[in-house]
Amino acid sequence: MDIATLRGPDRRVTRAVASWLYARTDEGGTPQFSGIRYASRLGPYECWAIFDGTTAEVADEQRIGDQEGLLEVMDTFNLSR
């Protein structure tokens, strides 16, 4: 498997990889992964898929305001701040 296959249009491949990662646990049953970070096919963006059951915190407005790249992506996709 190579990056072209993973980033290709066949979503069955990426879903199979994500399912495999989601199911990985240690000997005690604790998940080994909290999610997946990947590059978008739609531009120079970084994407995060956070698995169910993972604790995630929402950044406060001040912290978001300091991240110029994040604001650019939010504006590109018309997301509210």
Measured CA to CA, the distance from residue 50 to residue 56 in angstroms comes to 8
Parse the chain into domains and list their residue ranges. 3-76
Q: Answer for the pair 26, 18: CB distance below 8 angstroms, yes or no.
A: no
- If one counts every other C-beta atom within 10 angstroms of the C-beta of residue 63, the result is 10
Identify the pLDDT of residue 16.
92
pLDDT digits (tens, 9 = 90+) for 7-63: 788 889 988 998 999 999 999 988 888 888 888 878 888 888 889 888 766 666 555
What does the pLDDT look like over 47-61, one tens digit per residue? 888 898 887 666 665
What is the CA 71 to chain-centroid distance, rounded?
17
Distance CA 10, CA 42 (A): 15
